[in-house]
């Protein structure tokens, strides 16, 4: 069940003791909530995972969908009957063995893809694609913003749901409170409150990734399993 944004904002208003929304208008708190969703997506790309059938451009260089932030995996072809798998390979090896591969004739069946985290919005495919090639792509996307209410709006007028999993509701609450107290950091105690809420926000994201790693369905003995990264 997707959590309504107003449920999180209601808790924030209660904590701030600003039920009339004079010091912190609802529009401002909603913008903080949207910033928090993007912050979650930045630190936890798996929180905004999407799977889409992506029609490729002609050639070897490809781009993520317009709402994409990071590539996670390319699974298979979608244009051929056997839905053949697409494997991740090292571009340096392909460049060494077949330097002119970027200029090969296009094909609608892709065998390999290459990705560099330093260029998160693009990837390469082998052989170069035709415009009829379609791949099943798993990627992290920008979270959809909650609609910012107009002047005079009340909490009940905010009807959108958050665009990250419900387990991040408490994390978002701490982020909103961090931003709200930062606004009044010149008042006694508010700077410390802001820092405390951001610390809880950051720690929650780190603790959750440790839990995710522990239960991930990737057998350690499987030589094809992704390398596990130990949370620091």
Q: Which two tokens mark 209? A: 């990734």
For residue 215, the SS3 value is: helix
- The pLDDT tens digits for 81-118 are 778 999 999 999 999 999 999 999 999 999 999 999 89
Please determine, for residue 211, whether its predicted confidence score (pLDDT) is greater than 60.
Answer: no
pTM as predicted: 0.82
Strand partners, 50: 139
- The pLDDT tens digits for 180-205 are 999 876 777 888 999 999 999 988 88
Q: What is the pLDDT of residue 8?
A: 97
Q: Find out whether 162 and 168 touch, Cβ atoms under 8 Å.
A: yes
Of 24, 2, 8, 20, the closest CA to residue 184 belongs to 24
Give me the mean pLDDT over the 49-70 stretch: 96
% pLDDT > 70, the chain? 88
Checking 162-167 for CB contacts under 8 A at 24+ apart, the result is 162/2, 162/3, 162/4, 162/5, 162/8, 162/33, 162/37, 163/37, 163/48, 164/37, 164/40, 164/41, 164/47, 164/48, 165/47, 166/1, 166/2, 166/3, 167/208
């Amino acid at each position: 069940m997707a959590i309504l944004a107003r449920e999180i904002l209601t808790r924030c208003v209660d904590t701030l003791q600003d039920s009339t929304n004079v010091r912190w208008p609802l529009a401002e708190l909603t913008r903080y909530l949207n910033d928090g969703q993007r912050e979650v997506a930045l630190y936890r790309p798996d929180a905004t995972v999407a799977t889409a059938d992506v029609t490729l451009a002609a050639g070897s260089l490809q781009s993520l969908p317009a709402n994409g932030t990071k590539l996670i995996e390319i699974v298979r072809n979608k244009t051929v009957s056997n839905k053949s798998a697409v494997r991740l390979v090292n571009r340096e090896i392909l460049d060494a063995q077949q330097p002119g591969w970027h200029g090969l004739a296009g094909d609608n069946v892709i065998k390999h893809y290459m990705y560099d985290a330093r260029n998160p919005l693009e990837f390469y495919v082998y052989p170069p694609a035709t415009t009829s090639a379609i791949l099943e792509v798993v990627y992290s996307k920008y979270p959809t913003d909650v609609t910012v209410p107009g002047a005079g709006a009340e909490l009940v007028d905010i009807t959108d749901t958050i665009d990250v999993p419900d387990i991040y509701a408490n994390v978002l609450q701490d982020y909103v409170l961090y931003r709200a107290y930062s606004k009044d950091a010149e008042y006694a105690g508010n700077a410390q409150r802001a820092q405390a809420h951001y610390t809880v926000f950051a720690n929650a994201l780190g603790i959750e990734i440790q839990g995710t790693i522990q239960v991930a369905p990737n057998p350690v003995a499987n030589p094809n399993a992704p390398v596990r990264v130990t949370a620091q």
